[in-house]
Structure 1
Amino acid sequence: MLVSTFAHIQLLKNALARQIDGAFIPPTMTSLSEYIRQLPPDGATATAASERLMSLYADLRQHAWLKKLFSARRNTDLLPLAEILLALSDELTQAMLPSLKASPDAGYARWQAALEQLSPVARNLLSDETQLVWTIWKSQLDASDANVIRYAQMMRLVQQVEHIQQPLFWISPVAPDAMEQAFLDAYGARQALTVLTLDWHAHSVHSTYAAAWPEMLVDEMDSAALSLATPPGLKLHAAQNMEAEARAGAQTVIDWLQQGKTNIAIVAQDRVVARRIRALLERAQIVVADETGWKLSTTRAASAIAAWLELVAARAETVGLLDFLKSPFVFADMADKAELVMVSEIALQRAKVLSGWEAVSDALTAAPAAQKMMTLLAQQAAGFTGRKTLCEWIAATQQMLVTLGMRDALQADAAGAQLLQLLQDVAQDCVQVGHTFSFAEWRAFLNLQLEAKAFVQVNQDKRVVMLPLNGARLRSFDAVLLVGADAEHLPSQPMETLFFANVVRRELGLATRESRQRQQLRDVTELLSANDCVVLSWQAHKNGEPNPVSPWIERLELCLARACLAPLAKHEVQIAPRHLQPTPVLMPAPAAPQLLPQKLSASGYNSLVACPYQFFATRMLGLSGIDDVSDMPEKRDYGDWLHKILAQFHQTLQEAPVPLAERAPLLQQISDRIFAHELDKSAAALGYYARWQKAMPAYLEWIAERESQGWHFVLGEEKFEKLLRWEDGEIVLHGRVDRMDENASGERAVLDYKSTNQGALRDKLRQGEDHQLPFYGLLSGTALSAALYVPLEATRDKIKEVEAPDYEVWQQNLEEQIVRNMQAITHGAPLPATGPEPVCQYCDVRGLCRKGAW
């Protein structure tokens, strides 16, 4: 007894046991593939799929006309084409091999007859494509073709039973293909043969389904003789959106389990919704046995390999590098990995490193352990260059996995173990492939293998299974939930059929769009007929637009309406409410006198004034956000560059006087040097360079005017510290002063550069919330007669400083405020999150204070 799948063997045994109702010796039950494997070896070895693919691809890439014909910009674009050609060759072999064996000339005649179905214009346009398909197919028809070997083995089975009595029962939910039919004809000529398939005559199908979907029948239907009835176990559920469908589906499965159902199926027409249902059920501690699985490429293990390939291709692009290091499979046995990755991220962000192994290594000079880790990565990346055979590429990949500590971690993961086995299988299969391939070709090939391989997790709990529609053939369940019963998923979207129109495929005996949809409609009918409880669900709306139900369901409802029968029942889902105890969320106001910082900067004190909670989180707890690495310079970067330029410029003037006429070339030379370094890293810095070029003449004019008033540069970019004491405590004030000037009377003034205009700085002083200038006055240790903001953006081609009013009084008030606030923190004063919205908008710790939830 030959059945379609192993799952049917146990079902068949159980069915026989129920009929016999006693002990019995079952007949031999197996699948055709397993039956073939029982044959003694005959020396024939099929070419592995990966070997066929890359051998064909290596031949295709030699022909420039192919790339032009299929608009391929690079060689790797031909790899999917090779895959499609091989799949089409296999289809042709399965459909036409029996007739070729009977008459070698029959194949070409059938080919020409099929092409005659096209119009002369279409036949002329597709001549190159059809000739390519014919050539590739004929080249695959050799003794090492898997289908040729399989057909020969099927015929050996027939010869094996020539002189013994061995009747055969062929049980299948679908009609046999051409090769299977040839096998059955030959077997039936020698032995007793019984073919059991589903009967799709009108009298064997539920009358309502036959009336609604007559195209699935094999005979004409007399609609007048049909006695229609509303299917009692079929219900519909139209959800408002994806989440609503998933929640309703999960609750439905839970309800069924609570009712005592132990054999439940989820038919995943919409895989996105099905996976969401699975996640919700697992949250409820209900394990779903997924018989279909999902692509190996979507697993964490495969994403780690994909991240490495992307890292090599992008030459250590920083974001990709950090993502790769954060994979749990990379350096899995390294105890201090998390710390090293954090150190690396901070260092690369501060150095503005975008890519490049050398740049990455240079940025980590102060962190030898992290630098050593990056050096190890760079050494492995160096092995992924040049041209190699597939076996050599796999060897390089295996070496990388061992060196980076990934192999053991992957082996301990179910999907990772399958990935390692895949690499090993490909290495064994492709020993004979002598062609060499580039890194891009190896990467494209490996991605295809990961896409084609399905990962199925082993699960012993079979109460709830997830399967495709065709996986439910010849099976019945206590209850079935089909998700994705909308027009987009039922019927499924037709597969692309390159090279051939459906009319040609029909003549050649290949599957057509109509035959696929017809079989899927039969699968739906079988599902509804074999199960007493079926719920069909879909999303009634998608992206704010109505999402129509499947046309098959609409036709079924229309059939019932015409017969004046009750409509299909609606499936109602009741999710039990949960009563939660409300807990009001209040504004956080921590008190932590023991965390008073030992040092205080101007920006730190501004943070305290802006929002006490922000000061608590950033200065007292030491928390800070890590900026994303970006190739776009920000305004603060521009300010840093101007500080460097002006510091070097004025120090040069201080060391040796430079005439006014020679200052512009000097400033230009320094500016060019600083910006050249930044432009090498990012061309986006060019905009800031042009901005500074416009402001330079105005700045030189402002310097000359200031010197005419008797002021000259004394120091710049210098660090200061000052100990501030009070009765029961002290704190160190610290900061870096942009610039100090002095006049002939010995008076000093502090200047602070700002990369903005004069009007914005006036508003800043008017608001009085920035205490940077008086803070520098407290740091200086000497009396300052004035404090100025210097805008580095000209207004009407002029730069004019903005002087702080009542500077001495401001300093005294600031010192008193600092002492008072520090004393309050020391005595346990709360630090509430009272920052205004403009402060909160750019605050790194807003997620901690949870403003908006209270």
Structure 2
Amino acid sequence: MPNNTSLDKLIKSVKNNINSNHVIILPKNISKKFVKNIISLENIKNINIFYLDEYIFKINNENINTIRKCDSIYLESVLESTTTLFNKYNLTSEAENILNIIEKLFLENNIFIEKNNFSEDRIIKKLNQNLVSFESKIFLEIVKLWIQKSLDEGTLINKYLSFLNKEFIFFSNCRHYVINSHDYSKLEKIWIEKYLPNLAIFNDDNKLTIEENYYDIKNINSYNSKDFGSQEEELEYIAKNIIKIHKLHKYKRIALINNNRYFARRLSAILDGYDIKINDNSGWLLSTSSCSSYVDNILNFYIKNYCYINLHDIVKSPYFMPNISSEIKNKFLDKVLMVQKNNVKADLLISENDIKDEEIRSLLLLLKNDCNFKDNVTFNVFKDFITKKIKDFDSKDLITNDIAGKKVYEALDHLSSISILKNNEENFLKWQEKLNTYLETKTFSQDNHSNIFYTDIKNARLCSFDKIFISSMNSKNFPKKNINNFSKKNIIYSEFSLDSSIEDAEDIKDFLLLSSNADDISLTFSSSDGDEYLSKSKFKNYVDYFIKDKNLKISTVFNSKKNKNITMQHSFLLDDSFNNLTYRDIENYNTCFYCFYINKKSPKKNQISKISDDYFLFGNFVHAVLSDIITHKINMTSYSDIVKNLLLFTELREKDFFLKNHSPYNIALWKKLLPKIANYFLADKSKKYNFSAEKNLKMIYKDTITLKGRYDLKYSCGNNVCLVDYKTSSYLPSRKSVLSGESLQLPFYTLLDKNISLVEFLSINVSKNTILPTVFTSEELSTSRDVILNTVENIYKHLTEQSPLMVEKNSLGCDVCGYIDVNI
């Protein structure tokens, strides 16, 4: 690992003066947290890290955070209260960025405002720009506001400029270290050199030679480059490398650079499974935290939709009533769902009288809706409502001890401060939107004592690493540009001739200079389902060109089949739960071993998604009505009797399946279809007899496996025994798929009951007002029955011989799980 970077030199200097007190000054584009984490690994004490403005305020006995908060509250208050041109932009959420632009602008132009020596026209003229864009004109109005505030109340930037412009005598025995002096303004550099005692400046090497219009890449042999067919393969490759390095060399320093936070979160989760922690400097958006989601779910439940879905999300949260068991919570939810008749979207109609269990009733009373959320209120009323619910739900201790939870409370306090200044009122929904918007701009992170760092190119340039992974290198994510919405297209910056600290553009030069920071740099890229906008980054293309032409190395494509050392294989043994099989199990086995195994061992029980699906619920309703007319043995030879009873059972089942006044429109369409349903049962009425519905079928295979099925309708017609399966959704297996052995439901029934001679799908489409039968003879399905028997025999061998099923991750694998079968 190289040891000649600016931070390496700084650490060496500190160690040479270990008994002194040390102050490190950083430019704003460097993370204090990153530098602190790097230094903490060296077990060095007596160090304080500041940005220059923080340090100058500190030595002048001023609280910079108080002044900054006042500025932020003032600007947000002004922007929110404006009812004219500002409304075109979401300026409140961009207030922090706007403040940074103002401060940068004033600092670069040394716009120091003194009451006795002040002229707004002179200051505006000093900017010396002919502003033409609408954005810049808006920004100029904000600048004027800031000039006035600097005069009337004071601002952070004006106070800072007063410190930079006045003579200062500073006595200190601290050793001062400044990193990257070229990233400070001219005025700041003068102050640093003039007033900081015991000063040492460490600048990173930013020189690259140019040959034939190309930057010459230093240490070309440090690079290795790989392309992957999927993000899963890229993640697996990086994770395996880190796990291997960590296992052999626990104290190796690793940098992870990517701008795809979804990719970063997935990689972090994989490594966490191996107890490998990562230091994350930028953190995650506060709005993505489980605590923030919990608060939002509470608000959704009371403000937007007082329904089961939102209730479920609250009760299932670990923050809700932590001392009540999951069993009681599930029992409560089941009871609510039963009373709601599985309608998860309708307002809750459950009352205390519906619940006899005292413990469950107490939860209902706790969640009672007792407020009018359409009234306009102050933010503090809104805040009090949230904090009271958190307290009532016994969530406060968990939230206040949670890193993200503390940030949520800070957000509530911050917005409360702004609201007090304005004393304005909004309804609860508007306040919720403002809170969510604010949370979208804040982050949270957890400190980990680790040698692995999520960082960016600029910060990584400060120190040495044993290994650098630069991943997810597609054109969407590289180069990195964080451009605030207000300065769209960088109009403000270009018209003010201002280099932005907000738009931190990492160019090819920054990227290539990383080769001085590590002996091993891994560049990876994965395609994403052929999306052209996710094409390879120009950074990676640049390096790949030199690797290929100068080192005769070609960037290889990662292939899990060829690289067995990095292929993730799994094997499974079948247990007694596989002694019972349905046609769906057999289809899954023929499609994907992993889906066959996992769906049998851990069947999906996503209750909410099922019952909230109108088609699923309506399909069950239709099946129940058609079963009723068979099981109640009505006269199947009379058209009027059939129609009358279909209508009767429709109305009865409508009450069972749907809440009052919440029946879907499909019910009205179903009633219009009843005459055609009656005609279906009456067709060949002189020949149809022995009707039965919803009965089980089964067959024992070699005294080991039980094949099970359940039909919708069965009847005799002349000498034939007919079996029917109702289809109420738009999906209907094709005739070809049934005959080829791909769709096995109907062939499966003919195997379980040898007396069946005809089988059919009966498609019931209420939207089109049609009933369409698709009929097969038992003889037509002989090939498909052979497929079933061959599959069952294979499963039988796995069971009796205890031979495993083998699968592996592959970009060409199953669309559902990503695995591909491996034949032993």
3-state SS of 1:373 partner: helix
Do 2:234 and 2:524's aligned partners in 1 also have CA atoms closer than 8 Å?
yes
Q: Does 1:566 align with 2:554?
A: no
Match of 1:434 among 399, 420, 423: 423
Give, in angstroms, the shift of residue 473 of structure 1.
4.2
Q: Does 1:359 align with 2:349?
A: yes
3-state SS of 1:51 partner: helix
Measure, in 2, the Cα distance between the counterparts of 1:341 and 1:79: 41
Q: Does 1:266 align with 2:266?
A: no
Q: Does 1:39 align with 2:29?
A: no
Structure 2 match to 1:535: 521
Match of 2:496 among 488, 508, 511: 508
Q: Does 1:390 align with 2:374?
A: no
Structure 1 match to 2:209: 207
3-state SS of 1:113 partner: coil
Deviations 1:272-313 (A, max 9, x none): 333333333333332222233222222222221222233234
Relative distance call for 1:641 and 1:439 in structure 2 (3 A) is: farther
Return 5+ residue gaps in structure 2 as ranges.
25-47, 585-600, 686-692, 694-712, 714-723, 729-745, 755-762, 772-798, 801-816
Match of 2:140 among 134, 144, 168: 134
Relative distance call for 1:471 and 1:667 in structure 2 (3 A) is: closer
Structure 2 match to 1:287: 277
Match of 2:162 among 143, 148, 155: 155
Measure, in 2, the Cα distance between the counterparts of 1:315 and 1:78: 29
3-state SS of 2:664 partner: helix
Measure, in 1, the Cα distance between the counterparts of 2:222 and 2:152: 46
Give, in angstroms, the shift of residue 45 of structure 1.
4.0
Q: Does 1:311 align with 2:295?
A: no
Q: Does 1:685 align with 2:664?
A: yes
Measure, in 1, the Cα distance between the counterparts of 2:556 and 2:681: 80
Amino acid across the alignment from 1:14? I
Measure, in 1, the Cα distance between the counterparts of 2:679 and 2:236: 69
Do 2:308 and 2:348's aligned partners in 1 also have CA atoms closer than 8 Å?
no
Relative distance call for 1:255 and 1:702 in structure 2 (3 A) is: closer
TM-score (norm 1): 0.62
Give, in angstroms, the shift of residue 590 of structure 1.
8.6
Q: Does 1:585 align with 2:567?
A: no
Relative distance call for 1:852 and 1:690 in structure 2 (3 A) is: farther
Do 2:467 and 2:518's aligned partners in 1 also have CA atoms closer than 8 Å?
yes
Structure 1 match to 2:621: 637
Do 2:383 and 2:412's aligned partners in 1 also have CA atoms closer than 8 Å?
yes
Structure 2 match to 1:484: 472
Q: Kindly report the root-mean-square deviation, in angstroms, between the aligned alpha carbons of the 2 structures.
A: 6.4
Measure, in 1, the Cα distance between the counterparts of 2:675 and 2:369: 46
Structure 2 match to 1:14: 11
Relative distance call for 1:368 and 1:206 in structure 2 (3 A) is: same
Structure 1 match to 2:73: 51
Relative distance call for 1:147 and 1:664 in structure 2 (3 A) is: same
342-351 or 239-248, which moves further after superposition? 342-351
Measure, in 1, the Cα distance between the counterparts of 2:261 and 2:439: 18
Measure, in 1, the Cα distance between the counterparts of 2:375 and 2:409: 23
3-state SS of 2:223 partner: strand
3-state SS of 1:236 partner: strand
Give, in angstroms, the shift of residue 540 of structure 1.
4.6
Measure, in 1, the Cα distance between the counterparts of 2:453 and 2:670: 64
Do 1:155 and 1:183's aligned partners in 2 also have CA atoms closer than 8 Å?
no
Relative distance call for 1:81 and 1:276 in structure 2 (3 A) is: closer
3-state SS of 1:252 partner: helix
3-state SS of 1:465 partner: strand
3-state SS of 1:175 partner: helix
Match of 1:113 among 120, 129, 132: 129
Do 2:75 and 2:95's aligned partners in 1 also have CA atoms closer than 8 Å?
yes
1:325-340 equivalences under 5 Å are: 325-335=315-325, 337-340=326-329
Give, in angstroms, the shift of residue 457 of structure 1.
0.7
Q: Does 1:322 align with 2:312?
A: yes
31-40 or 546-555, which moves further after superposition? 546-555
Relative distance call for 1:342 and 1:469 in structure 2 (3 A) is: farther
Measure, in 2, the Cα distance between the counterparts of 1:793 and 1:253: 55
Measure, in 1, the Cα distance between the counterparts of 2:652 and 2:76: 51
Measure, in 2, the Cα distance between the counterparts of 1:51 and 1:514: 20
Structure 1 match to 2:178: 171
Relative distance call for 1:299 and 1:498 in structure 2 (3 A) is: closer
Deviations 1:6-25 (A, max 9, x none): xx99967632246xx57664
Measure, in 2, the Cα distance between the counterparts of 1:356 and 1:38: 61
Match of 1:467 among 451, 455, 474: 455
Deviations 1:428-469 (A, max 9, x none): 56543411222232222222332222212122x232222222
Measure, in 2, the Cα distance between the counterparts of 1:695 and 1:190: 92
Deviations 1:313-336 (A, max 9, x none): 43123223212211111111213x
Structure 2 match to 1:345: 334
Deviations 1:508-561 (A, max 9, x none): 1433699843x54454344322x2424132215332468654424544565688
Relative distance call for 1:112 and 1:168 in structure 2 (3 A) is: farther
Relative distance call for 1:385 and 1:271 in structure 2 (3 A) is: same
Relative distance call for 1:355 and 1:106 in structure 2 (3 A) is: same
3-state SS of 1:333 partner: coil
Give, in angstroms, the shift of residue 351 of structure 1.
0.5
Relative distance call for 1:551 and 1:427 in structure 2 (3 A) is: same
Do 2:255 and 2:468's aligned partners in 1 also have CA atoms closer than 8 Å?
yes
Measure, in 2, the Cα distance between the counterparts of 1:584 and 1:368: 45
Match of 2:538 among 542, 551, 555: 551
Do 1:269 and 1:490's aligned partners in 2 also have CA atoms closer than 8 Å?
yes
1:593-742 equivalences under 5 Å are: 627=607, 628-630=610-612, 632=614, 633-640=617-624, 685-695=664-674
3-state SS of 2:81 partner: helix
Structure 1 match to 2:232: 243
3-state SS of 1:379 partner: coil
Deviations 1:690-722 (A, max 9, x none): 33234359969999xx9xxxxxxxxxx9xxxxx
Q: Percent identity?
A: 14
Give, in angstroms, the shift of residue 175 of structure 1.
3.2
Measure, in 2, the Cα distance between the counterparts of 1:147 and 1:270: 40
1:353-432 equivalences under 5 Å are: 353-361=343-351, 364-365=354-355, 369-379=359-369, 382=371, 384-424=373-413, 426-427=415-416, 430-432=419-421
3-state SS of 1:329 partner: coil
Do 1:389 and 1:434's aligned partners in 2 also have CA atoms closer than 8 Å?
yes
3-state SS of 1:334 partner: coil
Amino acid across the alignment from 1:398? T
Measure, in 2, the Cα distance between the counterparts of 1:55 and 1:340: 43
3-state SS of 1:527 partner: helix
Measure, in 1, the Cα distance between the counterparts of 2:279 and 2:128: 48
1:174-185 equivalences under 5 Å are: 175-178=182-185, 181-185=186-190
TM-score (norm 2): 0.64
Deviations 1:183-211 (A, max 9, x none): 444676788997946477xxx72436996
Measure, in 1, the Cα distance between the counterparts of 2:540 and 2:508: 11
Return 5+ residue gaps in structure 1 as ranges.
1-7, 71-76, 116-122, 214-227, 593-605, 608-620, 651-659, 707-716, 718-737, 739-752, 758-762, 772-790, 799-830, 833-846
3-state SS of 1:397 partner: helix
